[in-house]
């Protein structure tokens, strides 16, 4: 993995984590917003500026890709690179959790 991507995305913000996690299955922006709110019991409510700014950057960095455009909606999905970054972050979070349980 590109070292620049590693430094940019790891450790990952909650916003980036939940966006990538949401895009394991293809979704458009509003569906991502709804999915993140549901997964976090409404704790995280992404606004349009946040979601579309993040999607644009992640698309540029090849973590996600647009797989379809219908009307005004772009359908996004995680890429292989994005899945690798997400897995690295999951591993990091699991380590944090494991270490916290041992104390």
Q: What is the pLDDT of residue 2?
A: 83
- Counted residue by residue, the chain has a size of 103
Q: What is the distance between the alpha carbons of residues 77 and 94, in angstroms, rounded to a whole number?
A: 24
| Tens digit of each residue's pLDDT (9 = 90 or more) over 6-18 | 889 999 999 999 9
Q: What average pLDDT is seen over the chain?
A: 95
Confidence of residue 1 (pLDDT cuts 50, 70, 90): confident
Nearest to 5 by CA among 73, 66, 60: 60
Q: What is the pTM of this model?
A: 0.93
In the chain, the domains with their CATH numbers are 1-96 (1.10.10.10)
């Amino acid at each position: 993995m590109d070292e620049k991507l590693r430094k940019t995305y790891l450790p990952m913000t909650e916003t980036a984590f939940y966006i990538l996690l949401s895009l394991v299955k293809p979704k458009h922006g509003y569906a991502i917003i709804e999915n993140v709110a549901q997964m976090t019991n409404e704790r995280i409510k992404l606004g349009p500026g946040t979601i579309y700014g993040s999607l644009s950057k992640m698309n540029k960095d090849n973590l996600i890709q647009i797989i379809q455009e219908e009307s005004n909606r772009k359908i996004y999905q995680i890429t292989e690179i994005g899945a690798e970054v997400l897995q690295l972050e999951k591993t990091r979070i699991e380590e944090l959790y494991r270490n916290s349980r041992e104390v």
